[in-house]
């Protein structure tokens, strides 16, 4: 066990970790490689972090793999990422099964190329009984659109007379989001020195602890994950209360 891991309290782990995997392009540039190589190394980092998370006892890991805004990147880069998604899915099925990890997606998956949708469906199907951890890929995902869709869904229920506008609760909206069946993230990690949320899980991170690191995503590994979890455990989550109220609970 690493020295950092030994310091982690297994009883106070974040249940759900969300990650904005940023910096693949800069990592490649720094080394004089093509951006595509950065993304390939990004997939390696994701494999390491996902297996380390499952080993640690994290139940939900949700990673920003492709945002709805990423469609605006040059066509060649979009194609590279979609190609990488397809090749990684078939290659990593074994890793997922060996580690008892269930694959899921959030986002407008219907906008992905048909081949990517088929591969996703296949891996989702093959891992459906895995129970150790849910790995959710946010693909063609944008939080404002997700919330807008949720509102549209509730409005349609009101129109049909199934729900009264005055009775709409936070729970109704939470249940209308892609993440309906998951707890909210406790910890959000963003790599590569950027301090933005970039339209990621805006509703769900209301009380998440935010962790920013200068490490570029391809360099982020198991030790970095442990560092982030330790940092999380050293914070006090007050949910709007004062310190003394928490101690008396």
Q: Of 43 and 225, which CB lies nearer to ligand FPP in the complex structure?
A: 43
Q: Cβ 40 to ligand FPP, closest distance in Å?
A: 8
Q: Is 100 a catalytic residue?
A: no
Q: Which member of 22, 134, 186, 224 is catalytic? A: 22
Residue 216 · residue 26 · CB < 8 Å: yes
Q: What string marks each residue from 212 to 231 as x (binds ligand FPP by CB under 6 A) or -?
A: -----x--------------
Per CB under 6 A, does 70 bind ligand FPP? yes
Per CB under 6 A, does 43 bind ligand FPP? yes
Burial 30-54 (b: 16+ CB within 10 A, else e): eeeeebbbbbbbbbebbbebbbbbb
Q: Cβ 49 to ligand FPP, closest distance in Å?
A: 10
Three-state SS string over the chain comes to: CCHHHHHCCHHHCCCEEEEECCCHHHHHHHHCCCHHHHHHHHHHHHHHHHHHHHHHCCCEEEEEEEEHHHHHCCHHHHHHHHHHHHHHHHHHHHHHHHCCEEEEEECCHHHCCHHHHHHHHHHHHHCCCCCCEEEEEEEEECHHHHHHHHHHHHHHHHHCCCCCHHHCCHHHHHHCCCCCCCCCCCEEEECCCCCCCCCCCCCCCCCCEEEECCCCHHHCCHHHHHHHHHHHHCCCCCCCCCHHHHHCC
Per CB under 6 A, does 84 bind ligand FPP? yes
Q: What string marks each residue from 184 to 203 as x (binds ligand FPP by CB under 6 A) or -?
A: --------------------
Per CB under 6 A, does 96 bind ligand FPP? no
Q: Is 199 a catalytic residue?
A: no
Token look-up 């009775």 returns 167
Per CB under 6 A, does 26 bind ligand FPP? yes
Stretch that binds ligand FPP, among 1-9, 20-28, 104-112, 222-230 (CB under 6 A): 20-28
Residue whose CB is nearest to ligand FPP in the complex, by number = 25
Per CB under 6 A, does 46 bind ligand FPP? yes
Per CB under 6 A, does 39 bind ligand FPP? yes
Q: Which member of 9, 30, 44, 70 is catalytic? A: 70
Per CB under 6 A, does 85 bind ligand FPP? yes
Residues in contact with ligand FPP by CB under 6 A are 21-26, 39, 42-43, 46, 65-66, 70, 81, 84-85, 88, 217
Active-site residues, by number, are 22, 70
């Amino acid at each position: 066990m690493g020295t950092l891991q030994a310091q982690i309290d297994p009883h106070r782990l974040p249940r759900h970790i969300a990650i904005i995997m940023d910096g693949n392009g800069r990592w490649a540039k720094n080394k004089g490689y093509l951006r595509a190589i950065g993304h390939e190394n990004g997939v390696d980092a994701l494999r390491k972090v996902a297996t380390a998370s499952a080993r640690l006892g994290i139940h939900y890991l949700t990673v920003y793999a492709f945002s709805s805004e990423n469609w605006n990147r040059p066509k060649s880069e979009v194609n590279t990422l979609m190609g990488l998604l397809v090749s990684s899915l078939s290659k990593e099925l074994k890793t997922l099964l060996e580690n008892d990890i269930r694959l899921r997606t959030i986002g407008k998956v219907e906008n992905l190329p048909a081949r990517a949708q088929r591969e996703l469906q296949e891996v989702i199907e093959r891992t459906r009984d895995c129970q150790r951890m849910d790995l959710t890929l946010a693909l063609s995902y944008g939080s404002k659109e997700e919330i807008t869709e949720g509102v549209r869904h509730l409005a349609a229920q009101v129109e049909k007379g199934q729900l009264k506008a005055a009775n709409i609760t936070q729970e109704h909206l939470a249940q209308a989001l892609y993440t309906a069946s998951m707890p909210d993230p406790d910890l959000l990690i963003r790599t590569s020195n950027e301090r933005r949320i970039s339209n990621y899980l805006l509703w769900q991170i209301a009380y998440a602890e935010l962790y920013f690191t200068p490490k570029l995503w391809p360099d982020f590994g198991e030790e970095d994950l442990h560092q982030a979890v330790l940092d999380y455990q050293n914070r006090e989550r007050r949910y709007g209360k004062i310190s003394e109220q928490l101690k008396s609970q």
